[in-house]
Structure 1
Amino acid sequence: MMPENINWVLGGLALLAGCTLGAFFFGGLWWTVQRGAASKNPARWFISSLILRIGIVLSGFYLMGASQLLYLGFCMLGFLLARAVVLRITSYLPAATVPAMASPPGNPPCA
């Protein structure tokens, strides 16, 4: 017989897993934009990163939500919380953290 509060423990683990998945997804997105913008072939960066990030996140959601829908909900809540945290952290970082992105003043690089 399982203890009654095991559901809360598993729900907390699902929330933590969602936070981890969200931090990986949105942190990876920020990292990809930083690297892809300075790359000679940005499409390769963006497409490969998208496939990798979506594959890992969907696998994590599948593993969390396979047993019970409540755990999937906690996982998604953690994912959204991680989005807010990553947005807050990256908003304080300078826009051009990659040296190749620091362009001299004048015309924009795409003009």
Structure 2
Amino acid sequence: MNLPLSMQLLVSLLAGLLLGAIFFGGLWLTVKQLPKVSAPWLLFLGSALGRTLIILAGFWCVGIWLSESFRWQRTAVCLAGFIIARMMITRYTRSTNVPATGKSA
């Protein structure tokens, strides 16, 4: 089953957005939980390992997905989606942490 290249790239972009949301959203949630746990290093290490394994598996699946052709293009578009998700989550988390005066802490 071969989808057209445009459809493959669209799905790769969506996969990159999802992977970025998982990675950076998980990082944000982990950092928020660190002060509340008795062993923060264990939480951080486990979270980093889990998030990294999920991302590596996701990029690997996008790279070999469906066909032999256009592997690097799909992976590059997936990376672009990952970076876009990073920018979106950074903007969202920054806006929720800014005090009412508008100045950052």
1:30 to 24, 28, 33: 28
Instruction: Report the counterpart of residue 55 of structure 1 in structure 2.
Output: 53
**Matched positions, count:** 93
Alignment of 1:43-82 (within 5 A): 43-66=41-64, 67=68, 68-82=71-85
Structure 1's consecutive aligned runs of 4 or more residues displaced over 6 angstroms after TM superposition are none
Normalised by the length of structure 1, the TM-score is 0.78
Shift of 1:38: 2.4
Normalised by the length of structure 2, the TM-score is 0.82
SS at match of 2:97: coil
Q: More helix by proportion, 1 or 2?
A: 2
Distance 1:35 1:87 in 2: 17
Which is higher, the Rg of structure 1 or of structure 2? 1
Identical pairs, percent: 34
Aligned-residue CA RMSD in angstroms? 1.8
Distance 1:44 1:86 in 2: 24
SS at match of 2:37: coil
Give unpaired runs (5+ residues) of structure 1: 96-111
Instruction: Report the counterpart of residue 93 of structure 1 in structure 2.
Output: 96
Shift of 1:69: 1.1
SS at match of 1:56: helix
Deviations 1:69-92 (A, max 9, x none): 110001000000000000000011
